[in-house]
Amino acid sequence: MKSFIKKILVLVLPIVIFGLSLMSCNSCQTKQQNQTYFGGYLVNSKDSLVILYLNDKAVDSVVLDKDKTFSFSIDTNTEKLYHFAIDQEYHYVYLEPGDSLTVFANLLDFKKTMSFSGKDAIVNTYITSQLEENESFREVFKKFHRMSPKDFKQKTDSVRRVKEQEYVDFLKANPTLSEKAKAITQVSTMSLVNKEIELYPFMHQRKMNECVVNKLPKDFYDYRSDIDFNNTFLAYFRPYYSYMVMFINNLSFTTYRKNSKQHDLSEDINKVPDFHINKLGIIDSIFGSGDLRDALFRNAAYAFLFHIQDETSSRNYVNLYDGFNQESKHREELNQVFAKYFCIYRREIFLLILILLLLIKKQFVLRIHLAQ
């Protein structure tokens, strides 16, 4: 019996050991494949600390060495959008498993001197160039705001064709891009044009004292059918997020203008409680759940608190807001902000009453003095 067991062990044990070593080797190989490196050379920085963020959380930090270089080693099994910060500057970096990406930048002119090398440098270079190009287009669009809806549409269509062709050419030159790489480069290309279309009704009314909500061409917002309104991967990508904020603002503005019986075009829409209340329902109806929804509700709340100083309207807003945000990651933060807001509001009312009483007393004393 012992001899039989010994023979079995002699035959089986090498196979088991080989299998375990193979599993270990595969595990090691997988880990190496997932190991991602991001580093760079940052000159003329005042600070030496480089912080790496994933979404809204700092995940790592390093200090520049004496040669002004830094390096992060990241273990990831999927594409991720990070951003790094130094000297109050920040920039996005798109990384895939196994990437080795290097950035160069001069902090004296951070954005314009930035360049990338290594795997996936092409994606990051494209994103950077599009964001820089958007800055110059922003000035061009300011001139379009005074145009009629028809002329504005023609101008934006012209810009859109140029930008769309840039994106098509980029895809042709890089046919093996991942879906996430395609998504972020597409948003980098088109976000400003889309945002400016949503901004136009506001800016035209402000500059020309004319409401164009009911005068827009029927196809003015057709581009919206191509927008992914719930892309969780892009929730913390500022061009995507900023577009969503303006999209919501415009929907609320349009609703208010179409339903309002008032025709005071000089009215500051930001001072109207209904404009802010409408946004709550819009966000809830379009953005089902997740970080983007939470961030948009948070933005809406701060916009309300910044512009509205009326206790009755504020309490009504807070009650409605809370109903939409039972599961929000920002709920505790906003509850504290709302509490401080009402505390400050009551304190200001108290001080105002006190000042009025002092002024009344002063006038009363002055009258007695004059009567004597």
CATH number of 87's domain:
2.60.40
**181 in the same domain as 133:** yes
- Residue 307 shares a structural domain with residue 356: yes
Total tally of structural domains belonging to the chain: 3
The three-state DSSP-derived secondary structure of the chain is CHHHHHHHHHHHHHHHHHHHHHHHHHHHHHHHHHEEEEEEEEECCCCCEEEEEECCEEEEEEECCCCCEEEEEEECCCCEEEEEEECCEEEEEEECCCCEEEEEEEHHHCCCCCEEEECCHHHHHHHHHHHHHHHHHHHHHHHHCCCCHHHHHHHHHHHHHHHHHHHHHHHHHCCCCCHHHHHHHHHHHHHHHHHHHHHHHHHHHHHHCCCCCCCCCCCCCHHHHHCCCCCHHHCCCHHHHHHHHHHHHHHHHHHHHHHCCCCCCCCCHHHCHHHHHHHHHHHHHHCCCCHHHHHHHHHHHHHHHHHCCCHHHHHHHHHHHHHHCCCCCCHHHHHHHHHHHHHHHHHHHHHHHHHHHHHHHHHHHHHHHHHC
pLDDT single digits (tens) 32-69: 566 899 999 999 999 999 999 999 899 999 999 999 99
Q: Specify whether 204 is located in the same domain as 191.
A: yes
Spell 75-93 as b/e; 16+ CB within 10 A means b.
Answer: ebeebbbbbbbbeeeebbb
Q: 93, 114, 135 — which closes off a domain?
A: 114
Q: Report if residue 7 sits inside a domain.
A: no
Tell whether 324 is covered by a domain: yes
Tokens of residue 209, six digits: 């004292």
Q: Are residues 225 and 272 in the same domain?
A: no
Where does a domain end: 222, 255, 288?
255
Shared domain check, 47 and 108: yes
* In a shared domain, residues 280 and 337: yes
Record the tokens describing residue 285, joined without a space: 């109806």
Question: In terms of domains, do 85 and 54 share one?
Answer: yes
243 and 127 inside one domain: yes
**Distance from C-alpha of 24 to C-alpha of 103, rounded to nearest angstrom:** 34
149 with 240, same domain: the answer is: yes
**For all residues of the chain together, what is the average pLDDT?**
85
18: in domain: no
Going from the C-alpha of 85 to that of each of 22, 93, 326, the distances in angstroms are 41, 11, 32
Instruction: Confirm whether 30 is domain-assigned.
Output: no
Q: Has residue 318 been placed in a domain?
A: yes
Residues in the chain: 372
**Residues of the domain holding 102:** 36-114
The answer to whether residue 23 is domain-embedded is: no
pTM confidence score: 0.83
Indicate the residue among 114, 144, 173 that finishes a domain.
114
> CA 355, 318, 232 angle in degrees (round to 5)?
135
Q: In 3D, which of 134, 237, 127 has the Cα closest to residue 182? A: 127
Examine the domain organization and report whether 250 and 150 are in the same domain: yes
Cα 248 to Cα 226: distance, rounded to the nearest angstrom: 16
What sign does the CA torsion over 302, 242, 104, 121 have? positive
In a domain, 43, yes or no: yes
Spatial distance between the Cα atoms of 239 and 284, rounded to a whole number of angstroms: 21
Query: Is the separation of the CB atoms in 93 and 155 below 8 Å?
Result: no
Q: What is the pLDDT along the chain (372 residues), one digit of tens a residue?
A: 545 444 443 444 444 444 444 444 444 444 456 689 999 999 999 999 999 999 989 999 999 999 999 999 999 889 999 999 999 999 999 999 999 999 999 999 999 999 999 988 999 999 999 999 998 888 889 999 999 999 999 999 999 999 999 999 999 999 999 999 999 999 999 999 999 999 999 999 999 999 999 999 999 999 999 999 999 999 999 999 999 999 999 999 999 988 876 667 778 899 999 999 999 999 999 998 899 999 999 999 999 988 988 888 888 988 898 888 878 888 788 788 878 777 765 555 554 454 545 555 444 444 444 444
Residues 139 and 248 in one domain: yes
Q: Is residue 10 part of a domain?
A: no
Residue 105 sits in the same domain as residue 133: no
